[in-house]
Chain A
Amino acid sequence: MTGLEDRKNQRKTTMPFSVKLNRQWLGPVIALLLIIIGNGIISPGFFTIRIVDGHLYGSLVDIVHRGASTVLVAVGMAIVIGTRGIDLSVGSIIAICGAVTAVLIRDTSLSPFVILLIALAAGIVCGLWNGMLVAYLDIQPIIATLILMVAGRGIAQMITGGQIVTFHGPFFEAIGSGYLLGIPWRVIIAAVLIAGLWAVMRKTALGLFVESVGGNARASRLAGIDARGIKVLAYVISGLCSAMAGVIIAADIRGADANNAGLWLELDAILAVVIGGAALMGGRFYLGLTVIGVLIIQALTTGILLSGLPSQYTLIVKAAVVMVVLLVQAPKARDMILRAMQRKKS
């Protein structure tokens, strides 16, 4: 028995859980730190955080502020990718939910909170549609969500009547650009939603089921997991997250722009998930690392803007840095780097 205990202990010491986790986190976190340090070198005022009118101001705050909508979309995307799917329709869902919000504010006297709930419900309906196509009609996710990606902008335009619908109101202005205790409301909303999502995924067995379905849907079904239900749920979560992002984006500009709201956001979201170390083949998702992924993209964008680089180079620099980050993320490259670091130590 003692032998067994020994073996257990040994196992614990040779392969502690935290080391594995660190290996996962190493690449993205180092990349984020490097980019932030780089930003600091390029623009000296980068790290200063001032308090103006009781609000936090500064480039670092700006990164978090701007990233709030993308991060919501990205965590939803991470869960969908975890089921071996992809959701291309997030940008269109943003447009639809923004349009719903704006039109309801303009045309009805519903309380803002009810309007928010209706907008979120619209996102859930969009997610259900995607989920049904993928899980029950067995359409490939990229095609199934492409349908709503294309049609969704049209739906949003129908809702707004083809115009940019503007609105005013304290509730939504607070969501878009308000502060609570110096922290932007949108950051708080995103943080709470992501924390809730993390708890639902990791404190219940849902995360395991998502990863199991993504890893092997057939085997999961035979193990008694409702594989179709899990897939539908993933798209519904993605729809809900995108809806919240849509409300934030609309509230930010105090209007719904059916053509441009959330345009190309799906690409940033997918990129963030990949930077976060998830495989597009499904089977694993990391919400925390996805958040880091969004911060990397946002820090990079902000840094390039601050550097005063001519705007025509922005996208190329962004692409180059992202490529380096992904290379560092690749298991082979990571092993090489780790080995090199160990050699230096010894």
Chain B
Amino acid sequence: MAAMTQSTSAILSVRGVGKVFPGVKALQNVDFDLVPGEIHALLGENGAGKSTLIKVITGVHPRDAGRVIFNGTDIHPQHPGEAQNMGISTVYQEVNLVPTLSVAENLMLERQNLKWGFINWKPTIAAARDALATLGLDIDVERPLGSYSVAIQQLVAIARAVALDARVLILDEPTASLDAEEIKSLFQIMRDLRGRGMGIIFVTHFLDQVYAVTDRITVLRNGQRVGTFVTADLARIDLIGHMLGRELAEVSSHRHHDERGFTGKGNQIQIKNLGRKRMLHPVSLELSGGEIVGLAGLLGSGRTELAELIFGAQKADSGLVFINGEPVMLRSPQHAIRSGFALCPEDRKQDGIVAELSVRENIILALQGRRGWLRPIPGAEQQKIADDMIRALGIATPDREKPVGQLSGGNQQKVILARWLVAKPLFLILDEPTRGIDVGAHADIIKLIKELCDEGLALLVASSELEEIVAFADRVVVMRDREKVSELVGAEITQSRIIEAIAR
């Protein structure tokens, strides 16, 4: 084991790598070592920097600082193809092969057996078959790739990566679309490859898989390396602690939950057995005005799904939502908004901003949506609303007419927050409100959350930052495996209690 941690024997070493995106320090001074013949898990919550680190290693993004040493020499790949030629192959979560080409063509792309400049098909197809055979896969390689299941496509992608004489194989969440049997065979293949001396970086957020197949674990959080551990020596609860940031411990500004004494004044929101098959086991939850409920859990635990069901973004097939005892229709976001609900979605780019529209238009969008198209907000009022919000939230923009797509991530997040504040909801759901934004904006948004709640808004905040949840939540609902597993109140709300509930 001692030899494994020595960087001199490493096939791939990352030293002090940094990467800055506009407004975000995606990676800061990250070290990482991969030795031949190991499966090394790279773990962390969304936005921790896993994929950025991989993209820096493979040349998708140029790095801003640090070194990447492969096989003893510094490398600066300009694109993934160059890294691949050096011997670093990557398989992404989404299969990025050409579905309309045959399996053989996909496997041998750019490496076809050529004769007089034409593809010599027989040897090409034979080579493709051999490549798949090493993975124990026997399929018709002349059929289009797209006609096979995602699992097989994933294996073809791995076969392609392996066939390229790779020394390092990076698997970026390869198991997301595989079933239990397929995962088993993938693990067998990974062990075989390890046996042949290949170094494998395995990115996943399924902890069971980490313990099933990996030798070592490197945990990233907020773009920094938390540590590298030998898998067998690291208890699951400690791992979750590292991922969610426990060592910052109980020092954070803990709110005195009892002192304010919410006795349920104001609005009452009741969620009863809300669920949807294959998405979320029925969840019950109550909130009242002026209360902040934290929603904790690892990625994929059902946090986002719960938020989307409450908001009507996805249709629930069981359960009801009541406001002050009255059942409300949640057939669509439009209905939810009319009932006074609001949701700041997790995926800002996909679900939040309309990039081409101006800051002003983005801010008034939800309010205008609620008023309907026939009652436009007068221009002067729009400008006033936008200017007020830009000032109140400290949105950094030269003017309110700038397309929101040109702002930094943190400011985009503030614009979406502004959109919902303007709509004056009684119940606001924030899904990962501080993801991927810089420290300054982070503090602003936390402060804002507290102020909102003082004004009598009911808040449900889903976050993977435990410190954050502990700092502001009056109650914490813990999710695991698409199910509510625990609800903590008052003094029970500590990071260790939450981690225990997640790990149990």
Residues on A close to B: CB < 8 A?
A: 4, 8, 11, 15, 17, 20, 203-206, 208-209, 211-212, 214-216, 218-226, 283-284
Q: Judge whether B369 and A15 touch: CB under 8 Å.
A: no
CA–CA, A226 to B368, complex, Å? 12
Contacts of A203 on B, CB cut-off 8 Å? 376
Partner-binding segment picked from B64-72, B166-174, B352-360, B482-490: B352-360
SS class of chain A's interface: helix, strand, loop or mixed? helix
Smallest Cβ-Cβ distance to B334: which chain A residue: A224
7 tightest Cβ-Cβ pairs between the two chains A and B:
A283-B356, A224-B369, A224-B337, A215-B354, A205-B376, A215-B356, A216-B354
Residues on B close to A: CB < 8 A?
A: 311, 313, 332-334, 337-338, 343, 345, 350-357, 361, 365-366, 368-377, 387, 391, 398-399, 401, 419, 423
Smallest Cβ-Cβ distance to B368: which chain A residue: A205
Q: Judge whether A15 and B399 touch: CB under 8 Å.
A: yes
Contacts of A8 on B, CB cut-off 8 Å? 387
Q: In this complex, which of A17, A206, A208, A221 has the most chain B Cβ atoms within 10 angstroms of its Cβ?
A: A208
Smallest Cβ-Cβ distance to B353: which chain A residue: A219
Q: In this complex, which of A215, A218, A220 has the most chain B Cβ atoms within 10 angstroms of its Cβ?
A: A215
Which of A4, A17, A204, A212 sits near B354, CB closer than 8 Å? A212
Offer 18 A-B interface pairs, CB within 8 angstroms, sorted by A.
Answer: A4-B391, A20-B401, A205-B368, A208-B368, A211-B354, A211-B361, A212-B354, A216-B350, A216-B353, A219-B345, A219-B350, A221-B332, A222-B352, A223-B337, A223-B365, A223-B369, A224-B333, A225-B334
CA–CA, A93 to B289, complex, Å? 54
Smallest Cβ-Cβ distance to B341: which chain A residue: A224
Q: Judge whether A222 and B370 touch: CB under 8 Å.
A: no
A220-B355 contact in complex given A204-B376, A206-B373, A209-B373, C-beta closer than 8 Å: no
A205-B371 contact in complex given A216-B353, A222-B351, C-beta closer than 8 Å: yes
Q: In this complex, which of A8, A205, A215 has the most chain B Cβ atoms within 10 angstroms of its Cβ?
A: A205
Q: Judge whether B356 and A17 touch: CB under 8 Å.
A: no
CA–CA, A211 to B362, complex, Å? 11
CA–CA, A220 to B366, complex, Å? 8
Which of A204, A218, A220, A284 sits near B365, CB closer than 8 Å? A220
CA–CA, A222 to B343, complex, Å? 8
A212-B350 contact in complex given A206-B373, A222-B333, A283-B356, C-beta closer than 8 Å: no
Q: Judge whether A215 and B355 touch: CB under 8 Å.
A: yes
CA–CA, A205 to B379, complex, Å? 11
Taking A206-B373, A215-B355, A216-B353 as known contacts, 6 extra A-B pairs with beta carbons closer than 8 A to each other, sorted by chain A number, are: A205-B368, A215-B354, A222-B333, A224-B370, A283-B354, A283-B355
CA–CA, A4 to B352, complex, Å? 29
Contacts of B369 on A, CB cut-off 8 Å? 209, 220, 223-225
Contacts of A206 on B, CB cut-off 8 Å? 373
Q: Judge whether A225 and B365 touch: CB under 8 Å.
A: yes
Q: Judge whether A218 and B356 touch: CB under 8 Å.
A: no
Contacts of B372 on A, CB cut-off 8 Å? 205
Q: Judge whether A204 and B373 touch: CB under 8 Å.
A: yes
Q: Judge whether B401 and A212 touch: CB under 8 Å.
A: no
Q: Judge whether A223 and B419 touch: CB under 8 Å.
A: yes
Q: In this complex, which of B370, B375, B399, B401 has the most chain A Cβ atoms within 10 angstroms of its Cβ?
A: B399
Which of B332, B371, B399 sits near A11, CB closer than 8 Å? B399
